[in-house]
Structure 1
Amino acid sequence: MPVSERQLAEFADKHAWQIPFDTSPRHLAGPGDARHVTHDLAAVGWTRTSDPLSAELVLRSPDGRHSLQLDPQSATSAWWRLRAEPTDTEAGWYAEFGELVPAEILAGVTDALLCPPRAEPPDPWRTLSSAGWKLDQQNGAHSPDGMCHIELRPLGDRDTPSWHIETREHGHGHPVGPRIWHAWFDHHTPSHLVSAFVTTLTDTAPLQRGMFERTAHYSAVKEPSPLSPQQVVDAHTARLDALRTQARAARRRQRPATIQPLAPPSKAAAPPVRR
């Protein structure tokens, strides 16, 4: 399901009239445009398997193993659900994300899923420390403003810990206030996906949001962006082209080497006919 010219035009039409503002920190920037995620997946062959007339969107990978669900009518706080079915050699896994998770951060995860890194992914704790997040002694870290918390903790009675990320309002007489958004990765989620989430989350580069978008947190810093609306659209298109190239290269690396068939034996020269 490649991204069509009509779909790209609709993306451009939406952003053409929006004056982009650099918004930071990232965890307070609001969800942005979901097409940062859905266009990426469609560009590399994921297809929609849900009812086209439904508010729910389900995209599935070409091999059928991975799926991404976006359900704005979800009865829970998880609008996004990313799943992998188990195989003979790999366990299945599950991750979920709340409504206000910035799409660019979720796209960091799906990009890493589409194009696995060749090298060992960076350690999330080292990434957090380098970004100025405060590490505690209980497998957790806080953002500099204290509103986003990352923790590696057991879920229920399980011994294997899973990753929990929450952004919350500042508390008023309590340790924490109401939750803004959350993300959760179960203990089978590949480490490079968690690392990609942490790396994209802690990146200090601002995210672009429209001047009048109301989904950014009131305490987020918004400044006029040096980018024009057209440059925002061009960056999106260039990103899709780059992702297609990277995904093709990743598939070539993962493809098993084909065995060349043996050449047929050459026919021996026929003996001369005796007269």
Structure 2
Amino acid sequence: MSPAPETVEVDFITPRHLASGGDPAWITVPLHRACGWSYGDDPLMPRVLLSSPDQKALLRLEPDPDDQWWTLHQVAEPNRPAWYASFGARTPVELIAAVTDALTDPAPAADAPGDPYGALRQAGWSPYGDNGLASPDKTAYVERLGTPADPGAWFVTVTHALHQKIWQARFGAHTPPPLVAAFTAALADPKPVHRTDSGRSLPPLDPDIVTRKTTDVLAVYVASALEDRVHSLAARHTTTPPVPTPSRQAPPRHGRSR
């Protein structure tokens, strides 16, 4: 009798902004393999540098206990000043990936959202401060500094029950609104994100706010998720239809909540 297929215990977590950072490869590998970004490293420094093919954008991942871990810089262009976006260590990679996916899209959709508050309002976020919105559970806040006549930077701050900061994302005043909107749309998305190490990376969280459903998933499907993402993003840069990828969804063997 053949051995049973190997499984991996996976946590599906909502709300996604409280799901921990996740695997950085979800961002870095597709940028390199699907979007042509080049990378440099320093064996003496724990950091990753990725440059866009036109050398106009630079993504830096550098562990820093006192500051943002992810920083994305775009140089000035004739029709737009330089801009930046940065993300704390526990910012879910799915949210950061929404920004890099939008940035590298060779043919962005004409109907791509341009209002960073649009998806949040549709998800039931409520007014906060002078120019911000708060999530229904009051653990996430999005606000823009400045005035309508002179708008400033965007700040996305996530806290836990004791109002201590878990992570923060910052977008400079000149960051293109569709990129900020891509981030907030991913933030408002009610679908859970999956983690295989959440027990080690999540801070203590209120079980009345965070839902964690643990399921045993075939290891082959977990391992193939990143490859499927690379394939999907690479297909955007081709003029011929991509080869269909067989569905990798399979019913979980066991399910339980905790």
Would the TM-score normalized by the shorter structure come out above 0.5? yes
Q: 2:47 aligns with which of 53, 56, 59?
A: 56
CA contact (8 A) 2:19 2:198 kept: no
- Equivalence map 1:180-259=2 (5 Å): 180-210=166-196, 213-219=199-205, 220-225=210-215, 227-248=217-238
SS of the residue 1:45 aligns to? coil
**Residue 18 of structure 1, CA deviation:** 4.0
Distance, in Å, in 1 between the alignment partners of 2:150 and 2:74 is 22
- Are 1:101 and 2:87 an aligned pair? no
Unaligned runs of 5+ in 1: 1-15, 172-176, 250-275
- Equivalence map 1:97-136=2 (5 Å): 97-115=87-105, 117-122=108-113, 123-136=115-128
Structure label with greater radius of gyration: 1
TM-score (structure 2 length as normaliser): 0.80
CA deviations over 1:48-83 (Å, ceiling 9, x no partner): 1332442011110111000100011x2632000000
**Residue 232 of structure 1, CA deviation:** 2.3
CA deviations over 1:209-235 (Å, ceiling 9, x no partner): 116632124323211247433222222
SS of the residue 2:69 aligns to? strand
CA contact (8 A) 1:134 1:142 kept: yes
The corresponding residue for 1:159 is: 150
Distance, in Å, in 1 between the alignment partners of 2:198 and 2:81 is 44
**Residue 124 of structure 1, CA deviation:** 2.4
Residues 17 and 212 (structure 1), Cα distance of their counterparts in 2 relative to 1, 3 Å cut: farther
Q: Which has the higher helix share?
A: 1
Distance, in Å, in 2 between the alignment partners of 1:34 and 1:17 is 22
Residues 30 and 162 (structure 1), Cα distance of their counterparts in 2 relative to 1, 3 Å cut: same
SS of the residue 1:112 aligns to? helix
The corresponding residue for 1:24 is: 14
CA contact (8 A) 2:80 2:174 kept: no
The corresponding residue for 2:80 is: 90
Query: AA paired with 2:175?
Result: T
Distance, in Å, in 1 between the alignment partners of 2:132 and 2:178 is 18
Q: 1:70 aligns with which of 42, 61, 77?
A: 61
CA deviations over 1:66-114 (Å, ceiling 9, x no partner): 0100011x26320000000112333210111111101111011100001
Q: Which has the higher strand share?
A: 2
TM-score (structure 1 length as normaliser): 0.76
CA contact (8 A) 1:100 1:181 kept: yes
Distance, in Å, in 2 between the alignment partners of 1:86 and 1:214 is 40
CA contact (8 A) 2:10 2:214 kept: yes
Query: AA paired with 1:151?
Result: E
